[in-house]
Homo-oligomer: A and B are copies of this chain.
Amino acid sequence: MADRQEKAYKKICEISKHARLLQGISSLLQWDQETYMPDGAAAIRAEQVEAMAGLIHRERTGRKFSRALSALIDLSTGEVAEELSSEQVAALKEWRRDYLQAKALPAKFVEKFAKTTAEALIVWREAKKTSTFALFSPFLEKIVAMAREQADLLGYAEHPYDALLNLYEPDMTTKEIELLFSRLRKGLTPLIKKIADRPPVDTRFLFGEWEKEKQLAFSWKLLDAIGYEREKGRLDLSAHPFSSASHPTDSRITTRLHPHSLMSNIFAVLHEVGHALYEMGLPPEEYGTPLGEARSLGVHESQSKWWETRIGGSRPFWEHFFPLLQETFKGQLDHLSLDLFYGAIHKVAPSFIRIEADELTYSLHVVLRFELERQLIDGSLQPREVPDAWNAQMETLLGIVPKNHAEGCLQDIHWAMGSFGYFPSYTLGNLYAAHLFEGFAKEHPEWETRIAVGQLSFVRQWLHERVYRHGRRYATQELLQRATGQAFSPDPYLRYLNDKYTHLTSP
């Protein structure tokens, strides 16, 4: 590399690292907001978050950054300078993507969007509480109009929804999601039908009074076994569980202690630790470059789903942990068999609320949202028509119709936040996880025996090798291919669900 190029690369790294530091600080502001911040501080916190967002945006779109970047990569064509290592080329391509994305939206638009969604969030909360779509409707109109404008500003090749999708899942297209989701739907519908014909599963023993200290103690048993590094993380309480990382050495999670449900905290912890391990496993020496960042929202979600469903929903896992759970809640689960317990935590039944849905019907909730979003963005569905479209789709997909909009089209926060294109990531996460898992199981055919005796570190080790340490080095499809030797397909997920739910003994 020529001197001038080396200098430019160093400059990019320097600015990017600085922006990343600020982003980590933003994460802490939000973590604090959800955990320990006094309620009265909400207004000033919003201003602090906004100030940080402004600074980060300015650094990432500033002239110093774009000048250095242009010296090494053509911003319009993506062509890179010679004599760069393959890692540098990969990093530059990602930097360029981020830059173009950030630059595409004028500050005025970003501010207006932020203001509109801030107002919409307040109205949405009220609308949900009173189940009044009419209240939220004018805001949904505005937000959909802005999301369509956003898609135009970001640019796209085929479908405007592609542009929004790519905010969360780079390179993914609407067409591909349609294909994936249609195969998923075809695979899931008969399976759900089959299970619906079985006698209902009794889950009452999962509800009761579960002492808080014991719930937390059990959470830590799980976290320790999984290899969550205590000196680099925390477990706190918040209204909605989340994970928050500002660096591989500071990757925190929260959980929620449900007043009655035993499994709520357990699955939240398993889910969030998946996110946290990914962040902990990103290469610290690449901190500040794209190679030190998580690949995509879908890949992130694959990591949480991995621990929540593939490990934490596996029978060998509970062969080891169920006795420990019984011991923790001595006197409350004593005479329960593992089969009964395992059957109960896998109960399948169509329901209205996505975040409470079981593993099988969950994907259909996402399919529904994707369908509506795509139509809203391409203009074939009007915001005011959402309630009817929602209910009709619910009936088609799950055979049930919500009694009110609070448990229907008003249930999720995403649209009020303006996050169109986000929902598919949830299901992509499941698909990616299943794809990865087949590779893992092939390399570790003994995985069930090992997990059944509480060995889990080899699982994390495999993910570290195949996913964590690469950051954004490879595009998602390449990452998945390299990890398993197979091109990505939705088949592993369908195989997994069919296999698991067909063999589940109905108690």
Name A's B-contacting residues (CB within 8 A): 18, 21-22, 24-25, 28-29, 32, 36-41, 43-45, 47-48, 51-52, 55, 229-234, 236, 246-247, 249-250, 252, 287
Closest chain B CB from A19 CB (angstroms):
10
Select from chain B the residue with minimum beta-carbon distance to A55. Answer: B55
For A236, what are the chain B residues with a Cβ–Cβ distance below 8 Å?
36
Q: Are A231 and B25 in contact (CB under 8 A)?
A: no
Assuming A25-B52, A52-B25, A55-B55, is B232 touching A40 (CB within 8 A)? yes
CB pair B246–A38 under 8 Å, yes or no, is: no
Please classify the interface of chain A as helix (H, G, I), strand (E, B), loop, or mixed, using the class held by over half of its residues.
helix
A40 with B246: CB separation less than 8 A: no
CA distance A232 to B39 in the complex (A): 7
Q: Which residues of B contact A25 (CB under 8 A)?
A: 25, 29, 48, 51-52
Q: Which residues on B sit within 8 Å (CB–CB) of A247?
A: 41, 44
Interface pairs (22), CB distance under 8 Å: A18-B51, A21-B44, A21-B51, A24-B44, A25-B29, A25-B48, A28-B29, A28-B32, A36-B236, A38-B230, A38-B231, A38-B232, A38-B234, A40-B250, A41-B232, A41-B250, A43-B249, A44-B246, A44-B247, A44-B249, A44-B250, A48-B246
- Which residue from chain B places its CB closest to the CB of A280 in the assembled complex? B40
- CB-CB < 8 A to A51: which residues of B? 18, 21-22, 25
Q: How far is the CB of A284 from chain B (nearest CB, A)?
A: 9
What is the distance, in angstroms, from A29's C-beta to the closest C-beta of chain B?
A: 7
Partner pick for A231 among B32, B39, B252, CB 8 A cutoff: B39
Number of copies: 2
Closest to A50 in B: B21
List the B residue with the shortest CB-CB distance to A51.
Answer: B21
Most B CB within 10 A of own CB, among A22, A51, A233: A51
Complex: A52 Cα to B246 Cα, angstroms: 15
User: A36–B234 contact, CB under 8 A?
Assistant: yes
A246 smallest CB distance to B (angstroms): 7
Chain B neighbourhood of A231, CB < 8 A: 38-40
Asked if A249 meets B28 with Cβ closer than 8 Å, knowing A48-B21, A51-B22, the reply is no
Which B residues are in CB contact (< 8 Å) with A44?
A: 21, 24, 246-247, 249-250, 287
Q: Is there contact, CB below 8 Å, between A40 and B234?
A: no
The contact of A249 among B24, B38, B287, by CB within 8 Å, is B38
A29: chain B residues at CB < 8 Å are 25, 28
Give A231 to B37 CA distance when docked, in angstroms.
9
Considering the complex, give the chain B residue whose CB is closest to the CB of A26: B25
Inter-chain contact A24/B48, CB cutoff 8 Å? yes
Contact A250 B37 (CB under 8 A): yes
Which B residues are in CB contact (< 8 Å) with A38?
A: 230-234, 249-250, 252
Q: Closest Cβ of chain B: how far from A54's Cβ, in Å? A: 9
Given the complex, which residues of B lie within 8 Å of A28, measured CB to CB? 28-29, 32
Residue of B nearest to A229 (CB): B40
Residues of B within 8 A of A287 (CB): 44
Q: Bound complex: CA of A36 vs CA of B37, how far in Å?
A: 13
Chain B residue at minimal CB-CB distance from A44: B247
Q: How far does the alpha carbon of A131 sit from the alpha carbon of B28 in the complex, in Å?
A: 38
Smallest CB separation, A436 vs chain B (Å) = 27
CB distance from A89 to the nearest CB of B (A): 27
Max count, chain B CB within 10 A of own CB: residue among A24, A41, A233, A234: A41
Chain B residues lying within 8 Å of A48, measured Cβ to Cβ, are 21, 24-25, 246
